[in-house]
A and B are shown apart, each in its own frame.
Chain A
């Protein structure tokens, strides 16, 4: 009896160990949140597509934040109508998507299609993770002339497309109009400029007796390239001398003047302090009048404004003193360089550049369509509520700029340059260095390594 129990225990142990080891062996077939786990029966019954193609299964990795998987599910439905033989499994990329893509790629587990932000395109392309998409885009009959060129540009490296943008994220100014009313100010017009902005900023900022700001004019989003790069160019400066491989943030004094415009907003208490450790998002708390952001935030602002009892609207990014530059970050979908289903994966990402794909993706109304032809489409204009100044989201696309440093510097120096910006900004704001010296440190840091 004893021997029998021992043998059974050993057998159980061996099975458990085998299962444990098998579990470590990867999860290529392990998909959660299946948008569609099998080819639809109707599709299997004899359309031309199913006759010509064997069933194909592709995996699509989406970030885990609310709404994205649902929006992509809507695209999957539209895609299935065109490609009934393709089964699309939508997987949530739990955790930091950047680290997730790297880890999955290293483990040869990368989904066929996956989400990535504009700022990762060059790095991932350089690592050989991304497949070029121009052939797929052409094969699927996409009119790239209808896509906002700045957004296409965000997904390109050396003229080749590696990421299809999923929306048009043009930086705007969200406005707490209740604070403007309280200060006796009217809503500025869509062509407002830097002088008007500063005039409003002075009137909207409130400080207590000890000089601490208790109501701010703006959440300037000071860390985001799509805000600081336009400011760096706004006085007519140039960030880079491409011919001589030099960063010129200190050598060109106009860059410093432009960045000073932005950084002084925080230094003088008009904008939130990047080191301020606020207990909550102060714009959402109703204590900030302006917020440099994109439409994706509007839905949340609308909900919070309703709950907190303030009104909101939207304005374009103000025209800066010398150059009208507006940032526009986006994100989108790429195809893995190692996918076995290039054709189907390419067709899937191309869906994001079609009217039906954009309508499906924007069914929640959180984004501005990336197609110029949809500028007047009600699906996004009346979302999250009607009656807002939605022209602001698409005004002056010619002023859109690309992330100059991350598209022109060698890939190995992009992180270094981002760190250089953060350190220069903090040294200036924390009074550790004067502006010129802080910028010089940033410039030297890059130029000594840029051969």
Chain B
């Protein structure tokens, strides 16, 4: 039997957490549940949703545009996640030393992350301008032919991937924190044992940094599958749908053509894909992520 004091404290506790609980229920759980319901309906926001069962999901399987969007989203994720992990890692390695003014360099490399997505989109559009852009001036200066960047379907995906690398400073900070969390005595012991720089890197740095690799990988996958803002601010899915990523397609279906039911079905498929991928990475992490003290 709980004392009256304990009950009062429990009520107070629930009341104190109620703003967050209510916020999550109202602004996350309820919309999520609604979107699941809408995915089984024909719904244009204004008129009442009409139940259509699994029609939206059936339509997906035969929708060439969906498969195209899924394909380019997967390619983008497959290339941009490892590339941005690598770039962030190399940047962190460079900046993980005690030099005069190192804080300033770290800030400079991190700055692109805080640039608003529309502003960076405008900037990259100008850089990539085939006739006037700095990117082609740079290629010309080193004797390379100009590139078409956002102007051609074939070049738009690599261009967006390069654009994304500009913001690798986000993962760099986490890498840096990981590097600085590696106990120095491990390196000291390795040096005493005569381990070379490479050996120390492969046998101490990499294993000790695997939780950071794991975290960056998960966040990178989730972020890449949801790529949206930078695309809308630059190519809006073009040219010829070559950058019509899944999130862009969902947005267009929902707010341009008002197929809210179909857009909800697309969103749920995207959610399941991200969930399965994340679960897969979590499962494999048992064999390659090492925590200090052996915790999993």
Say whether A and B bind each other. Answer: yes
Do A430 and B133 touch (CB < 8 A)? no
Do A430 and B239 touch (CB < 8 A)? yes
Do A276 and B129 touch (CB < 8 A)? yes
Query: Does A22 lie at the interface of the complex (its beta carbon under 8 Å from any beta carbon of B)?
Result: no
Question: Interface residue tally of chain B, by bracket?
Answer: 20 to 34
B261 nearest CB across to chain A (Å): 14
56-83 of chain A: CB within 8 A of chain B: none
Query: Does A451 lie at the interface of the complex (its beta carbon under 8 Å from any beta carbon of B)?
Result: no
Give which listed residue, A103, A106, A213, A277, contacts B133 with CB less than 8 A.
A277
Q: From B254, which residue of chain A is reached at the shortest CB distance?
A: A99
B221 nearest CB across to chain A (Å): 29
- Give Cα A106–Cα B46 distance, bound, in whole angstroms: 5
Against A, the Cβ 8 Å flags (1 = close, 0 = not) of B32-53 are 0000000000001111000000
Inter-chain contacts of B257 with A (CB < 8 A) = 415
Query: Does A128 lie at the interface of the complex (its beta carbon under 8 Å from any beta carbon of B)?
Result: yes
B232 nearest CB across to chain A (Å): 11
153-186 of chain B: CB within 8 A of chain A: 153
Q: From A16, which residue of chain B is reached at the shortest CB distance?
A: B19
Query: Does A105 lie at the interface of the complex (its beta carbon under 8 Å from any beta carbon of B)?
Result: yes
Inter-chain contacts of A20 with B (CB < 8 A) = 19, 22-23
Query: Does B285 lie at the interface of the complex (its beta carbon under 8 Å from any beta carbon of A)?
Result: no
- Segment touching A, from B10-18, B108-116, B275-283: B10-18
Do A279 and B239 touch (CB < 8 A)? no
Inter-chain contacts of A214 with B (CB < 8 A) = 131
Give which listed residue, A14, A106, A275, contacts B239 with CB less than 8 A.
A275
Do A105 and B46 touch (CB < 8 A)? yes
A12 nearest CB across to chain B (Å): 11
B37 nearest CB across to chain A (Å): 15
Inter-chain contacts of A415 with B (CB < 8 A) = 256-257
Q: From B9, which residue of chain A is reached at the shortest CB distance?
A: A6
Inter-chain contacts of A16 with B (CB < 8 A) = 19
Query: Does A374 lie at the interface of the complex (its beta carbon under 8 Å from any beta carbon of B)?
Result: no
A-B contact count (CB 8 A): 81
Do A14 and B151 touch (CB < 8 A)? no
B117 nearest CB across to chain A (Å): 16
188-223 of chain A: CB within 8 A of chain B: 212-214
Against B, the Cβ 8 Å flags (1 = close, 0 = not) of A72-102 are 0000000000000000000000000001001
B283 nearest CB across to chain A (Å): 39
Give which listed residue, B149, B150, B240, contacts A423 with CB less than 8 A.
B240
Do B18 and A277 touch (CB < 8 A)? no
Give which listed residue, A10, A24, A105, contacts B12 with CB less than 8 A.
A10
Do B240 and A276 touch (CB < 8 A)? no
Inter-chain contacts of B240 with A (CB < 8 A) = 423, 426-427, 430, 432
- Give Cα A42–Cα B257 distance, bound, in whole angstroms: 49
Q: From A414, which residue of chain B is reached at the shortest CB distance?
A: B257
Inter-chain contacts of A102 with B (CB < 8 A) = 45-46, 255, 258
Query: Does B220 lie at the interface of the complex (its beta carbon under 8 Å from any beta carbon of A)?
Result: no
Inter-chain contacts of B149 with A (CB < 8 A) = 277
- Give Cα A422–Cα B252 distance, bound, in whole angstroms: 15
391-450 of chain A: CB within 8 A of chain B: 415, 422-423, 426-427, 430, 432
Inter-chain contacts of B47 with A (CB < 8 A) = 127-128
A275 with B150: in contact, given A127-B46, A430-B240 (CB under 8 Å)?
yes
Query: Does A273 lie at the interface of the complex (its beta carbon under 8 Å from any beta carbon of B)?
Result: yes
Inter-chain contacts of A275 with B (CB < 8 A) = 150-152, 238-239
B291 nearest CB across to chain A (Å): 38
Do A279 and B132 touch (CB < 8 A)? yes
B46 nearest CB across to chain A (Å): 4
Inter-chain contacts of A239 with B (CB < 8 A) = none
Q: What number of A residues sit within 8 Å (CB to CB) of B? A: 34
Do B18 and A17 touch (CB < 8 A)? yes
Do A277 and B46 touch (CB < 8 A)? no
Q: From A99, which residue of chain B is reached at the shortest CB distance?
A: B255
Do B151 and A13 touch (CB < 8 A)? no
Do A426 and B19 touch (CB < 8 A)? no
Q: From B45, which residue of chain A is reached at the shortest CB distance?
A: A106
- Give Cα A427–Cα B241 distance, bound, in whole angstroms: 11
Inter-chain contacts of A279 with B (CB < 8 A) = 125-126, 129, 132-133
Query: Does B128 lie at the interface of the complex (its beta carbon under 8 Å from any beta carbon of A)?
Result: yes
98-151 of chain B: CB within 8 A of chain A: 125-126, 128-133, 149-151
B118 nearest CB across to chain A (Å): 13
Query: Does B272 lie at the interface of the complex (its beta carbon under 8 Å from any beta carbon of A)?
Result: no
Inter-chain contacts of B255 with A (CB < 8 A) = 99, 102
- Give Cα A277–Cα B131 distance, bound, in whole angstroms: 8
Do B12 and A276 touch (CB < 8 A)? no
Do B26 and A24 touch (CB < 8 A)? yes
Do B132 and A17 touch (CB < 8 A)? no
- Give Cα A278–Cα B18 distance, bound, in whole angstroms: 51
- Give Cα A328–Cα B150 distance, bound, in whole angstroms: 31
Do B16 and A13 touch (CB < 8 A)? yes
Do B133 and A426 touch (CB < 8 A)? no
- Give Cα A193–Cα B241 distance, bound, in whole angstroms: 36
Against A, the Cβ 8 Å flags (1 = close, 0 = not) of B1-31 are 0000000000010011011001100100000
A129 with B22: in contact, given A277-B130, A277-B133, A277-B149 (CB under 8 Å)?
no
Query: Does A21 lie at the interface of the complex (its beta carbon under 8 Å from any beta carbon of B)?
Result: yes
Do A14 and B15 touch (CB < 8 A)? yes
198-227 of chain B: CB within 8 A of chain A: none
B146 nearest CB across to chain A (Å): 9
4 A-B pairs with the lowest CB-CB distances in the bound complex, closest first: A275-B151, A277-B129, A127-B46, A279-B126
> Other than the known A277-B133, A279-B126, what 17 A-B pairs have Cβ atoms closer than 8 Å?
A10-B16, A13-B16, A13-B19, A17-B22, A24-B26, A105-B46, A106-B45, A275-B239, A276-B129, A276-B130, A276-B131, A276-B151, A277-B125, A277-B129, A415-B257, A426-B238, A430-B153
Chain B residues at the A interface, C-beta cutoff of 8 Å: 12, 15-16, 18-19, 22-23, 26, 44-47, 125-126, 128-133, 149-153, 238-241, 255-258
Chain A residues at the B interface, C-beta cutoff of 8 Å: 6, 9-10, 13-14, 16-17, 20-21, 24, 99, 102-103, 105-106, 127-129, 212-214, 273, 275-279, 415, 422-423, 426-427, 430, 432
- Of the A-B pairs whose beta carbons lie under 8 Å apart in the complex, a sample of 6, sorted by A's number, is A13-B18, A17-B18, A275-B239, A277-B128, A277-B150, A278-B131
